[in-house]
Amino acid sequence: MSSLSVAVEAARKVLPHDAVLSHWTNLAWRGLRVGRAWPLHLAVQRDQRRRRPGVDLHPYQGRLEVEDVRGVPALVPSRTFVDCGTLLRPRELVA
């Protein structure tokens, strides 16, 4: 089991039930190594004031498009591309 798998499993146990993989954590979970591995990035449906070391929670309003990736809920690729555009340089985004 990889360190990412261990971290994702641990985060899912302590975060809200609606937390889903987002940003480059979602890319890494899908096998793409872009951006930094840490902190983990997860999206939630509402504003979460709960802080967790090593985790960035991104609150969203409205319905999120989610799919199952290797048994873990994750934002769909199109949403992830947009989200990563806020964190990555253009060269990294299209690599």
| Per-residue pLDDT band at 71 (split at 50, 70, 90) | very high
Residue 92 phi/psi, 5-degree rounding, is: -70, -35
Residue 47: predicted pLDDT? 67
pTM assigned to the model: 0.88
Contact 67/13 with Cβ under 8 angstroms? no
Is the pLDDT score of 73 beyond 80? yes
Residue range 51-67, pLDDT digits in tens = 778 899 998 888 889 99
The single-letter DSSP state of residue 92 is H
Contact 26/74 with Cβ under 8 angstroms? yes
Residue range 32-49, pLDDT digits in tens = 887 777 899 999 987 666
